[in-house]
Amino acid sequence: MIRVLCLSGPNLQLLGTREPGIYGTETLEQIHERLRAEGAALGAEVECAQSNHEGVLCDRIGAAPGVYNGLLLNGAALTHTSLALYDALRAVALPCVEVHLSNPEAREPYRRASLIAPACVGKVSGFGGESYLLALRGLMGHLRKT
């Protein structure tokens, strides 16, 4: 069975109440429940975790080889600032899809540059919680192809 690790970064534990005009009203746990169900339907086991701490996310990525076949990563604000996440992704060489609820390119200029994108096989953004499901489908297609 394919195993996928989904990591979400800073402040995403506040989904549901955090700026609902941008991020919607769905909670992160609701997104994770849908993601696990979609994974099961696609023949994958999906484990989900969230942390506000860059090092914790790097530790999870670093421990992923041999346990997971691929990653989904919503780095949140760390997307635009973290060379550490980029380095961790490059070091493990697992396929990763970058995920965002909103469309960073349609927001503030400082959100338009992703430091993690060059270490990812793809990116899905702008579809709210559905972005995670679309990212999983894309990752599964990539894993089955390679």
Walking along the chain (146 residues) 10 residues at a time, the average pLDDT comes out as: 97 91 89 98 98 98 98 96 97 97 81 93 96 98 95
Residue 91 is part of a domain; what is its CATH number? 3.40.50.9100
80 is catalytic: no
32 is catalytic: no
Burial of 1: CB neighbours in 10 Å, binned 0-12, 13-18, 19+: exposed
Q: Which of 32, 86, 100, 132 is catalytic?
A: 100
Write out the DSSP string of 74-89. Answer: E-GGGGGT-HHHHHHH
How many alpha carbons lie under 13 Å from residue 98 in its C-beta half-sphere? 25
pTM: 0.94
What CA–CA distance (Å, rounded) separates 46 from 60? 14
Closest CA to 115 of 78, 145, 140, 90: 78
Q: How many domains does the chain have?
A: 1
Q: Which of 23, 68, 86, 132 is catalytic?
A: 23
Write out the DSSP string of 31-48. Answer: HHHHHHHHHHHHTEEEEE
Give residue 112's domain range: 2-145
What CA–CA distance (Å, rounded) separates 35 from 47? 9
